[in-house]
Each structure stands twice: as C-alpha cells, then as structure tokens.
Amino acid sequence: MAGLTLLLETDEGTYLRRVPDASPLPAVEAQGYEAEAAVRDAAATWGMPDFLFLPRQQRKGKGVREIGDGLLVVGNQAAGLQVKSRTDPCDNPDKEKRWLDKAIAKALSQGDGTVRRLTNTPAVLENARGREVLVDGAAHEWLSVVIVDHASLPRDFFPAESTSSAPSVVLTRRDWEFLFLPPTALDPSRAGLPAPHGR
C-alpha cells in the first residue's frame, strides 16, 4: 500500500505530513503471525508497553480459544485487537473487497468473543514489560479494533456497517503504525517537514 501525504490546515499555517508505508514484514509463510507481531510492536515500542497485553489461550470446554491478537487496557477503557493479513492479493478489486468484508466480519466476531470470555472468566495476562495483570472484562468499556494488513487495498473500499456488540473501528496496518509514531515524527519543525506556508 502506498504512503500518503496529508495537508494539515492549522492556525499557524499549512503543513504537509507524510504517512509512511507500513513496516515491511519478514518473507515467511506465516505472514499473519508476523502482521500480528508488527501491530503489537508498534503499540509497545512507540506507545505504552505497560498497557499492551499479549494474546494468550484460554480453555473453553474441551477446546482452547485465543484471547485476541492483543489488548490495550488503560484504566476502565480497553481495546481488543484483531489483525487480518492478506497474502497474495489479486488484481480483481471485487474479489479483494469480498475478502475484506469476510475478514473484517470474522475479526469483529472474534473481538466479541474476546470481550465475552474475559467478562465471564477474568484472566491473568502479561503486558509487554513482562508484568502479569488480572484483566476483568466486566470492569472495562470495550472497543473492537480491526487492523487490516493488505498490500493493495482497493481505493474505493469502505467497511460494511459493524455488527459488533461493542463500538468498533477498522484501520490499515499503515494507519495503526502512524498512530504510534514518536512525537519527533509528528512535529514538522523537528521532523524535517516543509515549513508552514500560506499565512
């Protein structure tokens, strides 16, 4: 997916802000796992590792379910992360849109399952600093975050209306990583971006 350039109008003038491409993934077969790791690394490295919790498995009857692809928990607010990665996208936009719709719907359903499991059975999770914390789903207000890793997202694609039981948002991995860029990258005067113009 190509990078973007944003035109920001402020009281101090107009700035250009470049949104870089998503970080490259290793060339491995398990691309989905690498995308999940990249999503967690962005939040833990540039965000707050104390609030980023790693996925873990939880028993349900005779089966085992994973508690999300990662969680962000701050105070009484929590976000369940679900990552969907597209391997070998084709040149047919309609086919890619169908894949996206299906993957996003599945991710939202998985997010609901994560909230439900943590509400019914609180779990001890490990954050990115290695500290274990009890997470009780009933004690938090939840947001489902779906992060799509897709190399050639159709330009006119918009996610369908969410059916999630919690508020939800869908982002590309590029946009997710942009959210966690360090402050120096967000300050035009310190990041080597063009000075404001049109004042």
Ordered mean pLDDT values, 10 residues apiece, the chain (199 residues)? 74 80 80 88 85 82 76 95 91 93 95 94 94 96 95 88 91 90 54 46
* pTM listed for this prediction: 0.81
Residue 165 maps to a domain: yes
Residue 69 maps to a domain: yes
Number of domains in the chain: 1
Residue 160 maps to a domain: yes
Residue 34 maps to a domain: yes
What is the rounded CA–CA span in Å between residue 2 and residue 35? 17
Residue 36 burial (CB < 10 Å; 0-12/13-18/19+)? buried
Domain containing 158 equals 4-191
Residue 10 maps to a domain: yes
Residue 20 maps to a domain: yes
Residue 126 maps to a domain: yes
Residue 196 maps to a domain: no
Confidence at residue 53, expressed as pLDDT on a 0 to 100 scale:
95
CATH number assigned to the domain comprising residue 124: 3.40.91
Number of Cβ within a 10 Å radius of residue 122: 14
Question: Two tokens at 36?
Answer: 């999940």
